[in-house]
Amino acid sequence: MHTTNFPLLLSANICILNHTTDLQFVKTFQYVLHIPTFILGVIINSVALYMLCIRLKKWMESTIYMTNLIICDIFLLFSLPFKIYADNGYGKWHLGTTFCKFVESLYFVNTYGTILLIMLISVDRYTAIKHPFLAQTLRSPKKAIIACTVVWVCIWSVSIPYYTQTECPQESKEICFVGFSEFWKKGVIPLSMELIYLISAFAVVFCSIQMIRTLQRVDVERDDISMKASMNIISPNLVTFLLCFTPYHVAMLLYFLARQEYITTDYQTSLRAFLQISQCLATTNCCLVGMYYYSIIKGFWKSKIKNTV
């Protein structure tokens, strides 16, 4: 009885939008968010990359992780104009199948590159602040480079099967950023993405809370540029991470459950719209991380000036 009434209960509390209205709203929302994200993201990340690589040239653990995060964001930003192009034609594509797979990989792969690199930054700062003596053994620029290399190899390796898979003859080769039926049918990839996010989110939240507690006990008169820079980036880093990526993964899980018919299929259209909107929100991370780019670069710049005086 309860199982039979469950869809009726949901139907009484959720308004199902017309399919055409959903598509138009999502399309408009993507324009409104993607275009400013692309413009601001390119400016912010280009300036940050210039400051780190050309002006500062101070290759510490933090700057290595930040540089890789900026490059990851730039790759993702590069895919946005092509996603806008595909969305404008409701998936129609005239730039070739291989190039479509490439920009799709840039969009999805670098999203998880960003998640993993933010996690590495949090773990790195947690080790430096919470366990300073152990950090002397665990932290070094060389180890930071190795960790970033492992992330790059892992995230791009998972896209190799996507490039090598043979296409079904029924599927049109002139579509892009749509038609992921196999992705949802098998379920391995979306569940793996959820697991990656959950592990990363737990690490970021745990490390951030521990760092905040530790820094609150640090003498306010202690003149430590690294400590002050860390304090300035912890909260923005945590808020940005949760704000950008949590709705996306909640939407992905709900849509997956609807596709698998664990949730009534009546809500697939609305959940798909929710997923597309939350994807747009996730890309704003490329701009929002500028809050702590500024804090870190400012701290390193002051440290450099102080050391040259």
**Whole-number average pLDDT of the chain:** 80
Q: Is the pLDDT of residue 150 over 90?
A: yes
Give me the amino acid identity at 71. Answer: I
pLDDT tens-digit series, residues 138-149: 899 999 999 999
More confident residue, 267 or 16: 267
The C-alpha atoms of residue 17 and residue 22 are separated, in whole angstroms, by 6
- Whether 294 shows a pLDDT value over 70: the answer reads no
Q: Does residue 125 carry a pLDDT above 50?
A: yes
**Structure-model confidence comparison of residues 291 and 244, the more confident one:** 244
pLDDT exceeds 60 at position 270: yes
Of all residues in the chain, the percent with pLDDT exceeding 70 is 75
- The residue length of the chain stands at 309
Alpha helix stretches (DSSP H) within the chain: 2-13, 19-50, 61-88, 97-130, 132-138, 141-157, 160-164, 181-186, 188-216, 225-259, 268-283, 285-288, 290-308
Average pLDDT over residues 99-128: 90
- pLDDT for position 74: 92
Residue 111 or residue 300, greater confidence: 111
User: Average pLDDT of 107-117?
Assistant: 91
Mean pLDDT computed over 282-291: 84
pLDDT grade, residue 10 (50/70/90)? very low
The mean-pLDDT minimum among 131-135, 194-198, 250-254 falls in 131-135
Q: What is the pLDDT of residues 154-172, one digit of tens each?
A: 988 887 766 666 554 445 5
Cα angle vertex 241, ends 119, 277, to 5°? 135
Q: Output b/e per residue, 171-209; b: 16+ Cβ within 10 A.
A: eeeebbbeeeeebeeeeebbeebeebbeebbebbeebbe
Tell me the DSSP string of 37-70: HHHHHHHHHHHHHHIIIIII----HHHHHHHHHH
- Specify the pLDDT at position 11: 44
pLDDT: which is higher, 48 or 13: 48
For residue 96, pLDDT over 90 is answered with: no
Domains of the chain (ranges plus CATH)? 19-163+173-299 (1.20.1070.10)
Q: What pLDDT does residue 108 have? A: 87
Closest CA to 58 of 305, 251, 265: 305
CA-based angle 94:95:100, to the nearest 5?
110
- Write the pLDDT tens digit of every residue in 47-77: 888 888 877 777 888 889 989 999 999 999 9
- What tokens does 262 get? 């664990």
